[in-house]
Structure 1
Amino acid sequence: MPSKMIFINLPVADLGRSKNFYEAIGWKVNQDFTDENAACIVIDDNICAMLLTRDFFTTFSKRPIADTVTTVGGAFALSLASAREVDILTEAALAAGATEELNEDRRAEEAQVGMFGRTFIDPDGHQWEPFWMDYPGN
């Protein structure tokens, strides 16, 4: 196992629907860490999203779960290898039921510094921001 990994714990309303969504955009389910309460979605070798039923999620914190359908609770930026990969992932997410959040002012700012990004909202309201950045060595 790598020395560092990140696991993003996300509460979901319908575990089956959420697993299907993430599989549809090309991410894999790790069955070793998946049961009726949770599903481990492998985004990359060192990045996983843990989809947790809302009831199970409440065992991780005493604070109320944010209503991510009406408010933003976090923005998960994911660096990809090209602008084309950003488009491919976002288009797959939209085809699987995500909605796109457009921000033309932000796109103009990103273009000035050599970035390209898009934003999609998954069926549970979680905000994903795939992006590509033109930096030395890229």
Structure 2
Amino acid sequence: MAKMLFVNLPCSNLAAAIGFYQALGFSQNLQFSDETAACMVWSEHIFVMLLTPAKWQSFTQRPLPAEGSSEVMLALNCDDKQTVDELCTAAGVAGGVSDVMPKQDLGFMYSRSVLDLDGHIWEFFWMDPVAIAG
């Protein structure tokens, strides 16, 4: 069985967060969505669960990160540099913040980062498959 990743993220406005992630190309799995949570699908093995604060607190009593802080930076690979650029542009148009850290172009790897509507950091990157193979 293939391993799957479910990233759980608190969000202050569920409908707006759904729209943001759809603008980046995520699809919504309605089977695992309701008025407190939305399952957003990046690939057949990667899912983002957007959770209202109340739903988040049903999983953990740990406090939500303070505004302006970060707990993780999540990175998703892309097929090419153009896709990285397109996703960063789409994030900015959808209300996020593009290029919250300097763009990196190391030749064999290219990456850009965005903040979603709730300040979660996402990095989109491309790596040259030839360089990966060694």
Asked if Structure 1 and Structure 2 have the same fold, meaning a TM-score greater than 0.5 normalized by the shorter chain, the answer is yes
Identify the residue that residue 133 of structure 1 maps to in structure 2: 127
Identify the residue that residue 83 of structure 1 maps to in structure 2: 81
Identify the residue that residue 58 of structure 2 maps to in structure 1: 59
What TM-score do the two structures reach when normalised by structure 2?
A: 0.91
Identify the residue that residue 111 of structure 1 maps to in structure 2: 106
Identify the residue that residue 14 of structure 1 maps to in structure 2: 13
3-state SS of paired residue (1:59): helix
2:2, 2:45 within 8 Å by CA — same for their partners in 1? Answer: no
Identify the residue that residue 36 of structure 1 maps to in structure 2: 35
Work out the percentage of aligned pairs sharing the same amino acid.
37
AA partner of residue 76 (structure 1): L
Q: Partners in 1 of 2:55 and 2:29 — Cα distance? A: 18
User: What stretches of structure 1 move > 3 A for 4+ residues in a row?
Assistant: none
Map Cα deviations across residues 14-51 of structure 1 (whole Å, 9 max, x no partner). 10110011112221000000001100000111000000
AA partner of residue 122 (structure 2): W
Shift of 1:72: 1.2
Q: Note the residue ranges of structure 1 that are not aligned, 5 or more in a row.
A: none
Aligned Cα RMSD in Å?
Answer: 1.6
3-state SS of paired residue (1:73): coil
The count of corresponding residues between Structure 1 and Structure 2 is 131
What TM-score do the two structures reach when normalised by structure 1?
A: 0.88
Shift of 1:102: 3.1
Map Cα deviations across residues 85-113 of structure 1 (whole Å, 9 max, x no partner). 10111111111011021325xx2xx516x
Map Cα deviations across residues 48-82 of structure 1 (whole Å, 9 max, x no partner). 00000011101111211112x41111100111111
Q: Note the residue ranges of structure 2 that are not aligned, 5 or more in a row.
A: none
AA partner of residue 38 (structure 1): A
